[in-house]
Structures are given as C-alpha cells and as structure tokens.
C-alpha cells in the first residue's frame, strides 16, 4: 500500500520494514519529517458532541470496560462512536464506526447526512452481519453517552443482539480512547474535504477503511495489519 502524505513516523517505520526491508529509527524519521516540514494538521473539535445530548427518557449504562479495551479475543470488546465530516461546499456528513478492541479492525461503518437514530441502528446491523450473527457470549458494546446509545429503542436492539452495553463516564473521552484515536488518524490521513457528493465521500471512506483493515501495519499488533492480527489470535 502506498503511504499517504500524512502518515506518522511509526507508520512510516513499519512500512519501510515490511514493504522495503529497510530499518530506520523512528526518531530519525521524525527528525527528517520536521526538517522537511512534513507535519500533520491539528485536528478540529467534534461538533457532534454538542448535538448528541440525551433527553430525559434516555438511560445511561455503567462502564463495564474501565478502559480494558484489549481482552485478547476478537469480537469480545466492540467500541463505537460517531464523528462529523465536512466536505464539498460546507456540507456535513456523519461517520458511525465500530472498532474491535483486540484486533483494531473496523468491522462496521456507516456514512450518513443525518444524525437520526438510524445511523447507529444500521451500524449495529452491519456489525452483526460481519459477525455472521455469532456474538461472543461475553461481548461488550461500548460507547459514549450520546443520544443514539441511550435511546431505549437502540438499547433494546443491543440487548436482543446479545451484547452487554457499556458507556464511558460523562465527558471522559479516554474511556473510549481507541475509537477516538481511529477517527483522529483517519482525518489526519484521508483527504476527503474535496468530495462533492455524499456518494463520493462514502467511496473515499470505504477505500480508507478497507486499506486500514488489510494493509495498515500497527505497532501494537506486533507490526501486523488488523486482519492479519485477527487471524493470528484465532490460530493461537
């Protein structure tokens, strides 16, 4: 996979080792990046946080993870969140994703122009499909306290699917840090603001996530891709 111009030092190091059989210290890579002004842009705040306020009839759930995101089994910890994407001539879209806590895979994602409950429902359905509706007996579905996840109809669907629902403490982004991290890296690395239509944006997101799952080497996955690491865990 060709590297995006916004790739970080560790990503470049792993790519050089795996693809070009070249070894270079990541600190040297950072120095070279600074020398040639190859610095990623600063991420913007997420306006979705201000929109996603639960109403009184919505109920929160306890935090069953306590930041124990990686429990060593694929499909056991599934993190979810929604982020904004601004594109075209000031248009807004929203990306809902699920991330596997152990493999770092993104098994489900939905791009929508609406923040209606359906964006979370479609994401859940896509997740179940990716699992062949075979949910881990101790599976945890973790999110923030956004309006979608506290909605009684959505909570019922999560329960019927066989997940134990878990939520971050209010205003504590570290309780869902891996999901936040994925969105941050995606926005740093993916050029999408020039997309003119929602269809074009969806295609761009689809391509990025496919490459992320199949070709993105990660330090915390023994320098494997998410798909490779899933196979590694299942064969252990």
User: Domain boundaries in the chain?
Assistant: 48-235
Model pLDDT, residue 22:
67
| Phi, psi of 157, rounded to the nearest 5 degrees | -65, -40
C-beta separation of 173 from 43 below 8 A:
no
Smallest CA-to-CA distance from 175 within 149, 196, 137, 195 is with: 149
Model pLDDT, residue 1:
53
Q: Write down the pTM of the prediction.
A: 0.79
Class of domain 48-235: alpha beta
Query: Which portions of the chain are predicted below pLDDT 50?
Result: none
Token reading at 74: 């694929």
Model pLDDT, residue 47:
58
* DSSP three-state, residue 154: helix
* DSSP three-state, residue 108: strand
Model pLDDT, residue 52:
54
Cα dihedral sign, 100-101-105-109: positive
Model pLDDT, residue 55:
53
């Amino acid at each position: 996979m060709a590297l995006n111009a916004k790739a970080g030092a560790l990503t470049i190091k792993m790519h050089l080792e795996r693809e070009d059989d070249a070894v270079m210290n990541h600190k040297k890579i950072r120095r070279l990046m600074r020398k040639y002004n190859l610095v990623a842009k600063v991420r913007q705040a997420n306006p979705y946080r201000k929109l996603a306020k639960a109403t009184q009839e919505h109920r929160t759930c306890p935090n069953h993870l306590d930041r124990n995101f990686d429990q060593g089994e694929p499909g056991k910890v599934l993190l979810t969140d929604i982020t904004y994407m601004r594109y075209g001539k000031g248009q807004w879209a929203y990306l809902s994703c699920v991330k596997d806590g152990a493999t770092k895979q993104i098994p489900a994602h939905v791009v929508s122009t609406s923040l209606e409950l359906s964006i979370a429902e479609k994401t859940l359905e896509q997740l179940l499909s990716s699992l062949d509706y075979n949910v881990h007996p101790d599976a945890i579905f973790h999110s923030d306290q956004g309006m979608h996840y506290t909605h009684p109809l959505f909570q019922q669907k999560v329960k019927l699917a066989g997940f134990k629902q878990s939520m971050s403490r209010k205003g504590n982004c570290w309780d869902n840090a891996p999901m936040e991290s994925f969105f941050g890296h995606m926005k740093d690395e993916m050029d999408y603001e020039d997309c003119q239509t929602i269809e074009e944006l969806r295609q761009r997101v689809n391509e990025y996530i496919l490459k992320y799952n199949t070709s993105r080497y990660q330090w915390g996955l023994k320098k494997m891709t998410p798909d490779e690491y899933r196979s590694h865990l299942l064969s252990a």
